[in-house]
Amino acid sequence: MKIAEKNLKNTYYCVIPVYNNFTTIEDVVRRVLCVTENVLIIDDGSTDADLQEFFRRHPVEVFRHGNNQGKGAALISALNILRQRNVDYMITLDGDGQHFPEDIPGIIERLEKENELVLLAGVRDLKTPAVPYASRIGRALSNYFIKLESGVSVLDSQCGLRAYPVSVTGQMDLGTRHYDFETEILLDCALNGIKIVNFPVNVYYPEAGGRISHYRKILDTCRIIKVHLRLLGRRIFRK
């Protein structure tokens, strides 16, 4: 069911960062368009297809990076675009089919109940058998360190299905440009008093080898650890 956007107090855009996910992006976009007409695709230098040409006849916008810059860079580009349009919330989901666009109406319904701008963080159920054990451990450790560094409980610090308050996050001076961006922006919001709402969302994990992921286990994990170490260092030396 499409969202009755005229009756909402906030404005929303669904943003999909994409890098070489041509086999899944069409289905994701089709399902998103079933719930909202405001769709912005950030093509982060894909080489498997010309998404601007492919979606030319679809009611979506495609903004392209000339080269691959990282997921965080794609989301920063989207924030800059939406901030210029005075959009209230940027709802993000990945282009690989992991997230369910059908969760978007529930997310908006939850946001409409708030009397202040918040960051809504999706919480995936990672107990299903197809979820890699390393993903569960990585999430648990990252959640723990965010609690330690900020005092705020985040139940899924690595979920890409989120709603960002554009006017707040669009002004943050963030140094990360890859998957570490999602950790840094959570921490910045928590440390600056922005309320974080944990919200359960659906997740699809195919069997091993059935999902195209560009997360580099060693490099991107080290980048996330670097974010945590930097924040821990600040807390230690301030004492």
Question: Model confidence over 176-197: pLDDT tens digits?
Answer: 999 999 999 999 999 999 999 9
Q: What percent of the chain has pLDDT over 70?
A: 92
Check residue 235 and give its pLDDT: 57
Query: pLDDT per residue over 140-171, tens digit each?
Result: 999 999 999 999 999 999 999 999 999 999 99
Residue 9's contacts (CB-CB under 8 Å, 6 or more residues apart) are: 112
For 152, phi and psi rounded to 5 degrees?
Answer: -105, 135
So what's the pLDDT on residue 129? 72
Interatomic CA distance for residues 93 and 182, integer angstroms: 12
| Confidence band, pLDDT 50/70/90 cuts, at residue 230 | confident
User: What is the pLDDT at residue 199?
Assistant: 98
What pLDDT sits at residue 73? 97
Model pLDDT, residue 102: 98
Q: Can you tell me the mean pLDDT for 212-235?
A: 74
Residue 1's pLDDT band (cuts 50, 70, 90): low
Q: Is the dihedral of CA 112, 18, 124, 207 positive or negative?
A: positive
The three-point CA angle 150-153-159 to 5° equals 105
pTM over 0.95: no
> Are the beta carbons of 78 and 90 closer than 8 angstroms?
yes
The answer to whether residues 169 and 185 touch, using CB atoms and an 8 Å cutoff, is: yes
How crowded is residue 56: how many other Cβ atoms within 10 Å of its Cβ?
10
